[in-house]
Amino acid sequence: MAEGLLGGILGEEDEKSDIEASAALAGAEAFASAVAAKLAGNDPEVARKTVEFLSKQSQLLDTQNEHLKDEHAARLHFLQGQAREVDIRRFGLRLRVGFQLFLVLVATGIGAAAILMVRDAVTSRQVVVEPFRIPSTLAAHGTDGAIAASGLLDELGRLQDATRSTSAARGLTGAWSGDIKLDVPETGISLGEISRLLRERFGHDVRIDGDLVGTPAGGLALTVRGNGVPPKTFEGSAADLRKLTVAAAEYVYSKSQPARWASYLNTHGRYEESIAFCKSAIGSAEPADRATLLTRWAVALENSGGSVREALGLERAAVKLQPDNWIAHNNVQNDLMFLADEEGAWKAGNEMRQVAGGRPGRAPEPYYQNWDYLTWNLTPWLESTVADAEANAGAGSGVISAGPNIADIELRLHDPEAADLALRTATQDPDDLPGNALTHHVRGRMAMESGDFATAVVELDAYGLAFANPAVSTQNPGYQCWIAPAEEAAGHPDKADALLKSTGTFVECYRFRADILDGRGNWPGAQKAYAEAVAIAPDLPAAYYSWGVALARHGDLVGAEAKLNDANKRGPHWADPLKAWGDVLLKQGNRKEALAKYDEALKYAPNWKQLKEAREATAKQKL
């Protein structure tokens, strides 16, 4: 573009020069003609010479004109060359600036990578297993150091996968989530080697090595050691390498991740080992693990039939030691529920929410499960349980595997198909005693809803037998109350009465007792039982709901509406009181208000068949 502009300018200048030269030449010729004409009248010789002179001048002008043309072409070529040189210099400058920017970007990238490597090194909490040292006699039989170390590594991975622990949610076990790896020394210097050296210098990795040697008696001796893992030797016969590896892996796991090891012991019913381990490990554990070890100790104590009040003291000590230990907050609520202080559990849940800075806040959602259970806050309870299951291989991180818990909540949402699917797709674990018991509980309630009372009794009685085990009874306090309505419906009133007398002062037991008395025609006794259920825990919605439904059955629609309103205030996200309230409004002839209650209830139980049918029927009446 610059060249075209320059050429245009030069062309204009040369054209001007040519015009001027032509004008000069024409003027000279005219002048010569005029002079010659003038002199011709005086002296012909002078005229002739004058003409010759002027002709020569004309030729000189012609020559100068040709020179000007040649000079214009040369000058134009020179200026065009200068323009190209300017373009080349400009391109070179851009190239140099671009190259410099590239170098800056490369340097920045290298610097960022270096910062990330240092940061990863400083925050690293991996467990790195080095190849073991073995004698040549064992190596000759096909066993080398890498194979022996890989066996330990495999067992560590198995222990990791078999551990259900809420500690993972706090990031305490990140080193065990795919970060356990075999470290074989590399040749030369590489980024991986630099990263390893940085982790060794600045990180918090646990590096494990060991020896595998033969014993004088012809057996094997496996020794493991590491930073923070005192050396320990495990001996056995030559055929016991597998057993030795398992024992060594458990030892390394317990020393490297004490909180998760205690969870593993509890999950697999090794409660006495868990109590002994927690007692011995608390003093030397990292501060972040001490509160968690107290909670694991409390769980093992409860599940082995120990004092729940003592366990509650351990949980409260954990909260005092670490105010944001949400596991301990959750377990305090569970212990209070087991002690039939459901109102106290509700208050403890509110205190936890305040410590967390509100909800949502700093406390992860799964730790609100007890408060959600008490207030029938079912959707958040379900969502947090499903999320926990998805983040922990489908089993969840709690003491009870996620499948039965999800089925329990789905059935409370009146979605028996979803509940059945959750049970059929649940991870099977024979060691999960409370989870397997809860499966019977859910199936019994499903049978109750379908009117199959015989099956309901069989399933709920199976739950009752399992409930005798402390590992089950401490996990779902109050769930045994549901057996009584099934026995009553199946025609076993004596069993229903006996069970309700032995279950304790739970809201569920009192409201079911009231329902049973009402069904037997004892309305005054039923009303007294409903009032007692409300008095046990006035901030919980369930007793108000059952009382309201009973009042509606007896035609007291105003009283029913008042109780259902009370239930809704205490459990605003529970569909059942809203649906019952809509039924009452419909009986009062308030179809528009009834339809609004049904619509609100559908927000919290979108798959409730009877609710949908009631809503559709009301909508048709309105039309």
Around 511, how many Cα atoms within 13 Å sit in the side-chain half-sphere?
23
* Statement to judge: residues 153 and 42 lie in one domain: no
> From start to end of 311-379, where are the E strands?
none
pLDDT in tens, 396-448: 887 788 999 999 999 999 999 999 999 999 988 888 899 999 999 999 999 99
Instruction: Tell me how far apart the alpha carbons of residues 390 and 387 are, in angstroms, rounded to a whole number.
Output: 5
Unique residue bearing structure tokens 């002739």 = 48
544-573: average pLDDT: 98
Q: Over the stretch 81-101, which tens digit does the pLDDT of each residue have?
A: 777 777 788 888 888 888 888
The amino acid occupying position 194 is I
CATH of the domain at 178: 3.40.50
CA distance to 259, 358, 380, 540, per residue, from 367 (Å): 17, 13, 11, 19
* Co-location of 106 and 145 in the same domain: no
Under the banding of pLDDT at 50, 70 and 90, the label for residue 112 is: confident
Last residue of a domain, one of 236, 256, 276: 256
pLDDT in tens, 190-226: 555 555 555 555 556 777 888 888 888 888 899 999 8
Higher pLDDT, 17 or 238: 238
Domain boundary among the residues 68, 92, 120 is at: 120
Give backbone dihedrals phi and psi of 220, rounded to 5 degrees, phi first. -125, 150
Kindly list the distances between the CA atom of residue 594 and the CA atoms of 319, 566, 590, 591, 611, in Å, as whole numbers in the listed order.
46, 17, 6, 5, 12
Q: Which of 241, 256, 271 is the last residue of a domain?
A: 256
pLDDT value, residue 566: 98
Q: Are 218 and 295 members of one domain?
A: no
Residues 368 and 262 in one domain: yes
Q: Looking at per-residue confidence, does 244 or 84 come out higher? A: 244
Q: Where are the beta strands (DSSP E) in 250-300?
A: none
Residues sharing a CB contact under 8 Å with residue 308, sequence separation 6 or more, in sequence order? 302, 335, 338, 339, 474
* Domain assignment of residue 32, given as a range: 2-120
Whether the pLDDT of residue 556 is over 80: the answer is yes
Do 131 and 143 belong together in one domain?
Answer: yes
Burial class (CB in 10 A: 0-12, 13-18, 19+), 613: exposed
Q: Is 84 found in the same domain as 200?
A: no
Name the 3-class secondary structure at 236: strand
Check residue 474 and give its pLDDT: 92
| Helix extents (H) in 173-257 | 191-202, 241-256
Query: Are 348 and 364 members of one domain?
Result: yes
Residues 439 and 535 in one domain: yes
57 and 116 share one domain:
yes
Helix (H) or strand (E) holding 210: strand 206-214
Tell me, yes or no, whether 113 and 38 share the same domain: yes
Look at the chain and report how many structural domains it folds into: 4
31 CB-near residues (< 8 Å, 6+ apart): 54
Residue 95 and residue 163 in one domain: no
CA quadruple 301, 305, 307, 309: dihedral positive or negative?
positive
DSSP string, 512-581: HHHHHHHHTT-HHHHHHHHHHHHHH-TT-SHHHHHHHHHHHHTT-HHHHHHHHHHHHHH-TT-HHHHHHH
The CATH number given to whatever domain includes residue 279 is: 1.25.40.10
pTM (2 decimals)?
0.73
Q: Write out pLDDT tens, residues 246-261.
A: 999 999 999 888 999 9
Same domain flag for 262 and 252: no
